[in-house]
């Protein structure tokens, strides 16, 4: 969450296009000063989710800043807004929208968490004011005067029986990382020890075989945020790391097997679609246990969790594969390229003709949740190291590192079946390539290299400007059987889930497509758009189609 960047990356594919549009159409138009009104007026519960918006918008903007072509205007708005917020810090250190007698109720703690997240990111910006760090410390110290052993329990704050307030663990851990002051580590340990729910200790319950859908109140966002906070704590707390690593790995495996749809989202039960409900086994129906089919908030929370787990898990390739699936399907599938924002309920994917919900307008916490995940795409795709870099995603991109090192990826992935990587560096450069399960070959200047699926291939050597690494991916479509055992199948090509849109070949902006049995198949992210009542599409099919079919352009070089 914190740490200064000395590298620049530009995603040029579908994720990069969405990031640029989100920033230009949404973030650039946000009046950050107006979002401070809840903290100026301190009207408490009357603010509703508006108390979350300043921190949410600022966090998105700061994380997107290094990846924009022209960040100057947004950079100035961020710094000005952070300075204005710090003026609202009270003498006791609190920055809250709630008056004294209402503090710790409602969304007070979640609002403070978002403010701290934004301030921690602001503290890592080049040339950041040192007062930001002091502001974070005073905020945390004031919270610790109200919550903790012998004071009010963290489980008796917030609105989700402890889940939303316990998510504070992630920013408290990051304040410890920033300052090295042990009292913050002890407070994060305290939150973890409380178990995050009034109902039961979610970590202990999970270890005893309780399903994610039965943990606490089943809130997918709340539970995932708490496990993300635990993973961050385990990263910096050597005493707890082995246990936390095991628990977070188990949670990731359980939600992957039981909860996530084929698109990488999940959730159901209510109209918000934000509860775990064994959704993997209900995704072939017309709804998910009577509720909406998935939530952008769930998608974003999972991607954030996978992002942390990619540097924490014993096998980092599992969270990376899950994140890639969520990025290219659920996240982009719920994104409206016209408004640059997200539909709160991702989509419906039943065997019958189902549709996207209509997309609304305006600044809304739920509609900005997708942006929180999208801004993580560049840092997950490209991870610099002391000796070189790690590449996890292969959409077209450019990366600039110190000492005039430049990396470029071309080829049109994931819509195509290959990615070309060129490296320019004055010194020997170490590159580690994530090899997904659908990779069919890795070539260096047309020479096939030794490689292994679901692993990293590391190459350390001097690079000439005309030398190219090429990854080839299986162009064939893979059939996936429905997890509930029903006679249904869905189809995947690379990381892309395919769909049949009722409008046939008229679907615009398809990342990938093919024709079989006179049906036009497109990538899931393009199906159903624009978001209107006539945009029907299918993902699950009773008819058993051939396992493999091809596009005529698959083998064009």
Q: How many separate domains does the chain show?
A: 1
Q: What is the mean pLDDT of residues 185-204?
A: 96
**What pLDDT is attached to residue 291?**
80
Q: 136: helix, coil or strand?
A: helix
The answer to whether position 524 is within a domain reads yes
The answer to whether position 504 is within a domain reads yes
The answer to whether position 383 is within a domain reads no
Distance CA 532, CA 509 (A): 16
528 pLDDT band (50/70/90 cuts)? confident
Q: Is the pLDDT of residue 3 over 50?
A: no
**What pLDDT is attached to residue 236?**
85
- Lowest model confidence (mean pLDDT) among 128-142, 153-167, 282-296: 282-296
The answer to whether position 468 is within a domain reads no
Question: Scanning the structure block, which residue is given the tokens 């599992």?
Answer: 318
Q: Which of 258-272 are b and which e, b meaning 16 or more Cβ less than 10 Å from the residue's Cβ?
A: bbbbbbbbbbbbbeb
Which residues share a beta bridge with 473? 439
Distance CA 427, CA 182 (A): 40
More confident residue, 522 or 169: 169
Provide the residue count of the chain. 557
DSSP string, 233-294: HHHH-TTTHHHHHHHHHHHHHHHHHHT--TTS---BSSTT--B-S-GGGTTTSSSBTTB-S-
- Lowest model confidence (mean pLDDT) among 52-61, 380-389, 446-455, 543-552: 543-552
pLDDT digits (tens, 9 = 90+) for 52-84: 999 999 999 999 988 887 888 889 999 999 999
Q: Is the pLDDT of residue 25 over 90?
A: no
Q: 527: helix, coil or strand?
A: coil
The answer to whether position 361 is within a domain reads no
The answer to whether position 278 is within a domain reads no
Say if CB 368 and CB 341 are below 8 A apart: yes
Q: How many CB atoms lie within 10 A of CB 306?
A: 29
Smallest CA-to-CA distance from 110 within 253, 222, 269 is with: 222
Output the CA angle 78-84-87, nearest 5 degrees: 145
Q: What is the mean pLDDT of residues 20-47?
A: 88
Distance CA 4, CA 10 (A): 17
Q: What is the mean pLDDT of residues 276-287?
A: 88
Q: Is the pLDDT of residue 223 over 80?
A: yes
Smallest CA-to-CA distance from 33 within 54, 59, 55 is with: 54
Distance CA 272, CA 369 (A): 13
**What pLDDT is attached to residue 486?**
87
Say if CB 96 and CB 40 are below 8 A apart: no
Determine phi and psi for 290, rounding to 5 degrees. 85, -5
Q: Is the pLDDT of residue 22 over 80?
A: yes
Give 267's contacts (C-beta < 8 A, 6+ positions apart). Answer: 220, 259, 273, 274, 275, 276, 277, 279, 288, 291, 292, 293, 294, 295, 298
Distance CA 432, CA 456 (A): 6
The answer to whether position 444 is within a domain reads no
The answer to whether position 507 is within a domain reads yes
Distance CA 253, CA 269 (A): 22
Which residues share a beta bridge with 523? 498
**What pLDDT is attached to residue 544?**
56
For β-strands 382-384 and 489-493, DSSP reports them as: unpaired
Look up the domain containing 526 and give its range.
478-538
Element (H, E) at 177: helix 169-179
pLDDT digits (tens, 9 = 90+) for 153-179: 999 998 888 999 999 999 999 999 999
Distance CA 404, CA 426 (A): 7
Q: How many CB atoms lie within 10 A of CB 219?
A: 24
For β-strands 536-538 and 354-355, DSSP reports them as: antiparallel
C-alpha distances in Å from residue 279, one per residue of 50, 269, 339, 345, 514:
30, 9, 29, 14, 29
**What pLDDT is attached to residue 90?**
95
């Amino acid at each position: 969450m914190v740490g200064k960047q000395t590298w620049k990356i530009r995603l040029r594919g579908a994720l990069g296009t969405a990031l640029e549009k989100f920033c230009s159409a949404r973030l650039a138009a946000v009046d950050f000063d107006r979002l401070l009104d809840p903290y100026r007026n301190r009207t408490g519960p009357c603010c509703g989710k508006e108390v979350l918006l300043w921190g949410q918008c600022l966090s998105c903007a700061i994380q997107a800043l290094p990846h924009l072509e022209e960040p100057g205007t947004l950079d100035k708005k961020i710094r000005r807004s952070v300075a204005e917020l710090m003026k609202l810090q009270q003498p006791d250190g609190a920055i809250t929208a709630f008056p004294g007698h209402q503090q710790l109720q409602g969304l007070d703690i979640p609002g403070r968490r978002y403010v701290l997240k934004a301030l921690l990111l602001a503290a890592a910006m080049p040339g950041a004011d040192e007062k930001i760090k002091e502001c974070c410390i005073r905020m945390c110290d004031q919270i610790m005067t109200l919550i903790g052993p012998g004071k009010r329990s963290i489980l008796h704050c917030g609105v989700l029986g402890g889940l939303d307030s316990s998510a504070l663990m992630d920013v408290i851990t990051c304040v410890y990382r920033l300052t090295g002051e042990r009292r913050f580590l002890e407070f994060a340990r305290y939150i973890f020890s409380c178990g995050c729910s009034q109902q039961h200790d979610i970590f202990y319950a999970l270890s005893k075989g309780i399903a994610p859908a039965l943990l606490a109140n089943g809130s997918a966002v709340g539970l995932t945020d708490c496990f993300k906070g635990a993973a961050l704590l385990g990263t910096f707390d050597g005493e707890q790391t082995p246990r936390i690593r095991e628990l977070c790995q188990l949670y990731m495996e359980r939600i992957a097997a039981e909860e996530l749809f084929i698109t990488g989202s999940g959730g159901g039960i209510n109209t918000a679609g934000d509860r775990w409900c064994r959704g993997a086994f209900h995704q072939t129906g017309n709804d998910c246990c009577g509720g909406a089919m998935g939530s952008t908030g769930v998608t974003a929370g999972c991607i954030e969790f996978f992002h942390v787990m990619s540097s924490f898990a014993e096998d980092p390739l599992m969270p990376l594969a899950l994140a890639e699936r969520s990025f290219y399907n659920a996240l982009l599938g719920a994104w409206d390229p016209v408004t640059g924002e997200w539909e709160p309920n991702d989509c419906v994917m039943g065997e019958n003709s189902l549709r996207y919900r209509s997309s609304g307008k305006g600044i809304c916490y739920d509609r900005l949740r997708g942006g929180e995940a999208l801004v993580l795409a560049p840092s997950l795709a490209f991870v610099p190291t002391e000796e070189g870099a790690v590449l996890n995603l292969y959409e077209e991109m450019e990366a600039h590192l110190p000492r005039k090192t430049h990396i470029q990826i071309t080829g049109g992935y994931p819509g195509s079946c290959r990615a070309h990587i060129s490296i320019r560096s004055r010194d020997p450069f170490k590159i580690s390539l994530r090899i997904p399960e659908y990779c069919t070959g890795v070539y260096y200047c047309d020479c096939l290299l030794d490689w292994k699926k679901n692993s990293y291939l590391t190459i350390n050597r001097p690079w000439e400007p005309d030398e190219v690494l090429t990854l080839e991916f299986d162009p064939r479509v893979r059939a996936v059987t429905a997890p509930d055992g029903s006679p249904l199948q869905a189809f995947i090509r690379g990381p892309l889930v395919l769909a049949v849109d009722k409008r046939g070949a008229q679907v615009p902006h398809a990342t990938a497509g093919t024709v079989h049995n006179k049906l036009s198949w497109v990538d899931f992210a393009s199906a159903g758009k624009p978001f209107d009542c006539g945009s029907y599409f299918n993902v699950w099919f009773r008819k058993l189609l051939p396992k493999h079919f091809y596009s005529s352009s698959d083998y064009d070089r």
